[in-house]
Chain A
Amino acid sequence: MQTHTSAQQTDLTIVMRSLADPTRRDLFERIVRSRETTVGSLAGAVAISQPAVSQHVRALKQAGLLTERRDGRNIFYRADPEGFAPLVDWLDHYAVFWRDRFDALKTLLKEMDQ
């Protein structure tokens, strides 16, 4: 069992930061949609240089959002669902939900005194 701790908040920050750059987010969306792709084909599809694409891909990989597979001289990248774990909707939803409900419970307990 893992708890929703500050370590995961850090993960969340890293993921958020890596996707804050619109160009990088566009590249990531292309990788998700392609299922698997190379830096070369990404650079061919967007109007930025191959070294710049490489740099973005490296940042996404460091954030845990990509996995790579080597095949000869090519490296194929695909999106890694685990990387998105910090952003799972339910966790976000319920972290806020329970904080609010807890406050409502405290208010109710106070009212029960009156």
Chain B
Amino acid sequence: MTPTQTAEKTRAIVVEEVIPHTPEKVWHALTNSDLIARWLMSNDFRPERGHKFTFQATPVGDWNGTVDCEVLEMDEPRLLKYSWFGGSATTPSRYILESTVSWILTPVDGGTRVKMIHDGFVSPRNDIGYDQMSQGWGTVLQRISKVIDEAA
């Protein structure tokens, strides 16, 4: 995470649900590379703090589909946090998304409360120049038109 980003306004996606499995079992699914590949993406994850790994997904727009990660926190079976950096397809040296993903497991009656927080989405004014954003808007507008046309 770049130092300048900490002062900026960020947004997060939160998914939270109680699921009927023990925290230990959920932890296993979150931290075993083969199992992660079955529900998330192919990866070279290892449950070690400081371990650097990648996820590989289908490229979208300017994103090359690679997610560069590092295990930031591990407290079995309660907390797992990794960085989640998305690379640019057109500028390989540049990250176009610098964020973190946290998994918080809490034992509850009948299972585990699983909370996923994907944090660090920066508002466009903060990280992208006006001209670049104008181009982005073109894309957004095309998408809106498409959604509206489909709804009509």
Are A108 and B124 in touch, CB under 8 angstroms?
Answer: no
- Distance between A55 CB and nearest chain B CB, rounded to angstroms: 20
Are A4 and B13 in touch, CB under 8 angstroms?
Answer: yes
Are B137 and A32 in touch, CB under 8 angstroms?
Answer: yes
| Contact count band on A | 35 or more
Identify A108's interface contact among B39, B119, B125, CB under 8 A. Answer: B39
- Distance between B16 CB and nearest chain A CB, rounded to angstroms: 9
Q: Is B59 an interface residue (CB 8 A)?
A: no
Number of interface residues of B (CB under 8 A): 45
Q: Is B72 an interface residue (CB 8 A)?
A: no
Q: Is A70 an interface residue (CB 8 A)?
A: no
CA distance A106 to B13 in the complex (A): 19
B residues 91-105 touching A (CB-CB < 8 Å): 97
Residues of A within 8 A of B114 (CB): 102, 105
Residues of A within 8 A of B74 (CB): none
Contact with B along A94-114 (1 / 0, CB 8 A): 110011011011111100100
Identify A104's interface contact among B39, B97, B134, B140, CB under 8 A. Answer: B39
CA distance A89 to B122 in the complex (A): 11
Q: Is B108 an interface residue (CB 8 A)?
A: no
CA distance A21 to B26 in the complex (A): 47
Contact with A along B12-31 (1 / 0, CB 8 A): 11110101010001101110
CA distance A35 to B9 in the complex (A): 24
- Distance between A72 CB and nearest chain B CB, rounded to angstroms: 25
Contact (A98, B118) CB under 8 Å given A3-B12, A29-B141, A89-B61? yes
Residues of A within 8 A of B14 (CB): 3-4
Residues of B within 8 A of A68 (CB): none
A selection of 14 A-B contacts at a CB cut-off of 8 Å is: A1-B119, A4-B13, A8-B11, A19-B141, A25-B144, A25-B145, A29-B138, A79-B134, A84-B133, A88-B11, A91-B13, A98-B116, A109-B19, A109-B29
Q: A3-B11, A108-B29 are in contact. List 10 more A-B contacts (CB 8 A).
A: A16-B147, A25-B141, A85-B123, A88-B123, A89-B139, A91-B11, A102-B17, A102-B114, A105-B114, A107-B39
Residues of A within 8 A of B (CB): 1-4, 8, 16, 19-20, 25, 28-29, 32-33, 35, 79, 81-82, 84-85, 87-91, 93-95, 98-99, 101-102, 104-109, 112
